[in-house]
Chain A
Amino acid sequence: MAKPTSELISGSNSKNQISGRASVLINTFFVIYSALCILPLLLIISVSLSDEQSVMTHGYRFLPANFNLAAYKFLIKDIDQIVHSYGISIAVTVTGTILSVIVIALYAYPISRSNFPQAKFFTFFVFLTMLISGGLVPWYLVYVQMLDLRDTLWSLIMPLIMSAFWVLIMRTFFKETVPEAVLESAKIDGAGELRIFIRIVLPLSLPVLATVALFQTLTYWNDWFLSLVFITDNHNISVQYFMYKMMVNIQYLSSNPNAMAEITRAGGMVNFPSETVRMAMVVVGVGPIIFAYPFFQKYFIKGLTVGSVKG
Chain B
Amino acid sequence: MFYAMMLPAVILLVINNYIPMLGIIIAFKTINYQDGILGSPWSGMKNFEYLFASKDSYIIIRNTLLYNSLFIVLNLGLPLAFALMLNEMKNRFLSKLHQTIMFLPYFLSMIVISYLVYGFLSDERGYFNGTLLPAMGLEPVRWYFTKEVWPVILPIINTWKNMGYYTVVYMAAIIGIDEEYYEAATIDGANKWQQMKKITIPLITPVITIMTLLQIGKIFNADFGLFFQVPRESGALFPVTNVIDTYVYRTFLTVGDIGLSSAAGLFQSVVGFVLVFVSNWIVRRINPENALF
Which residue of chain A has its CB nearest to the CB of B190? A15
Please state if A222 and B269 are interface contacts (CB–CB under 8 Å): no
- Distance (Å) between the CB of B60 and the closest chain A CB? 14
The A-B contact count (CB < 8 A) is: 278
Please state if B172 and A33 are interface contacts (CB–CB under 8 Å): no
Given A301-B99, A304-B172; A27-B88 close (CB under 8 Å) = no
- Is there a chain B Cβ closer than 8 Å to A305's Cβ? yes
Please state if A132 and B249 are interface contacts (CB–CB under 8 Å): no
Which residue of chain A has its CB nearest to the CB of B270? A132
Which residue of chain B has its CB nearest to the CB of A296? B107
Interface centre among A30, A33, A34, A293 (most CB of B within 10 A): A30
Which residues of chain B from 2 to 41 have any CB-CB distance to chain A below 8 Å in the complex?
A: 2, 5-6, 8-10, 12-13, 15-24, 26, 37
CA distance in complex: A23, B85 (Å) = 9
- Is there a chain A Cβ closer than 8 Å to B86's Cβ? yes
Which residues of chain B from 24 to 75 have any CB-CB distance to chain A below 8 Å in the complex?
A: 24, 26, 37
Please state if B172 and A301 are interface contacts (CB–CB under 8 Å): yes
Please state if A139 and B107 are interface contacts (CB–CB under 8 Å): no
- Is there a chain A Cβ closer than 8 Å to B285's Cβ? no
**Which residue in B118, B189, B273 is a CB contact (below 8 Å) of A132?**
B273
**Which residue in B89, B119, B265 is a CB contact (below 8 Å) of A60?**
B119
**Which residue in A9, A133, A162 is a CB contact (below 8 Å) of B9?**
A162
- Is there a chain B Cβ closer than 8 Å to A142's Cβ? yes
Which residue of chain A has its CB nearest to the CB of B229? A244
- Distance (Å) between the CB of B127 and the closest chain A CB? 5
- Is there a chain B Cβ closer than 8 Å to A177's Cβ? no
- Is there a chain B Cβ closer than 8 Å to A270's Cβ? no
Which residue of chain B has its CB nearest to the CB of A138? B23
Name the interface size band of chain A.
35 or more
**Which residues of chain A have C-beta atoms less than 8 A from B179's C-beta?**
9
Please state if B20 and A194 are interface contacts (CB–CB under 8 Å): no
Chain A interface secondary structure, helix, strand, loop or mixed? helix
- Is there a chain A Cβ closer than 8 Å to B112's Cβ? yes
Interface centre among B82, B111, B265, B293 (most CB of A within 10 A): B111
Please choose the segment from A76-84, A261-269, A277-285 that sits at the chain B interface, where 4 or more of its residues have CB less than 8 A away: A277-285
- Distance (Å) between the CB of A127 and the closest chain B CB? 7
Please state if A60 and B126 are interface contacts (CB–CB under 8 Å): yes
**Which residue in A22, A107, A136, A224 is a CB contact (below 8 Å) of B261?**
A136
CA distance in complex: A140, B258 (Å) = 11
- Distance (Å) between the CB of B237 and the closest chain A CB? 14
CA distance in complex: A222, B106 (Å) = 11
Given A138-B20, A138-B26; A110-B6 close (CB under 8 Å) = yes
Please state if B224 and A225 are interface contacts (CB–CB under 8 Å): yes
Please state if B269 and A147 are interface contacts (CB–CB under 8 Å): no
Interface centre among A34, A40, A139, A141 (most CB of B within 10 A): A40
**Which residues of chain B have C-beta atoms less than 8 A from A272's C-beta?**
none
Which residues of chain A from 18 to 38 have any CB-CB distance to chain B below 8 Å in the complex?
A: 18, 22-23, 26-27, 29-30, 33-34, 36-38
Which residues of chain B from 223 to 263 have any CB-CB distance to chain A below 8 Å in the complex?
A: 224-225, 229, 232, 248-249, 252-253, 258, 261-262
**Which residues of chain A have C-beta atoms less than 8 A from B104's C-beta?**
37-38, 41, 290, 293
**Which residues of chain B have C-beta atoms less than 8 A from A282's C-beta?**
112, 115-116
Which residues of chain A from 28 to 66 have any CB-CB distance to chain B below 8 Å in the complex?
A: 29-30, 33-34, 36-38, 40-41, 43-44, 47, 55-56, 58-62
CA distance in complex: A293, B108 (Å) = 10
**Which residue in A34, A126, A139 is a CB contact (below 8 Å) of B23?**
A139
Please state if A60 and B183 are interface contacts (CB–CB under 8 Å): no
CA distance in complex: A285, B69 (Å) = 32
Which residue of chain A has its CB nearest to the CB of B98? A30
Please state if B115 and A132 are interface contacts (CB–CB under 8 Å): no
Which residue of chain B has its CB nearest to the CB of A221? B109
Which residues of chain A from 132 to 180 have any CB-CB distance to chain B below 8 Å in the complex?
A: 132-142, 146-147, 158-159, 161-162, 167
Taking Cβ atoms with an 8 Å cutoff, the residues of A that contact B are 2, 5, 8-9, 13, 15-18, 22-23, 26-27, 29-30, 33-34, 36-38, 40-41, 43-44, 47, 55-56, 58-62, 102-104, 106-107, 109-110, 113, 116, 118, 122, 125-142, 146-147, 158-159, 161-162, 167, 192-194, 197, 218, 221-225, 229, 240-241, 243-244, 247, 251, 275, 278-279, 282, 285-286, 289-290, 293-294, 296-297, 300-301, 304-305, 307-308, 310
Can you list 16 contacts pairing A with B, beta carbon distance less than 8 Å? Answer: A8-B186, A9-B183, A26-B89, A33-B102, A36-B160, A118-B2, A131-B273, A134-B265, A135-B20, A136-B248, A146-B19, A161-B12, A222-B109, A224-B109, A285-B112, A297-B100
Taking Cβ atoms with an 8 Å cutoff, the residues of B that contact A are 1-2, 5-6, 8-10, 12-13, 15-24, 26, 37, 82, 85-86, 88-91, 94, 97-105, 107-112, 114-120, 122, 124-127, 129-131, 160, 164-165, 168-169, 171-173, 176, 179, 182-183, 186-187, 189, 191-192, 206-207, 210, 217, 224-225, 229, 232, 248-249, 252-253, 258, 261-262, 264-266, 268-269, 272-273, 276, 293
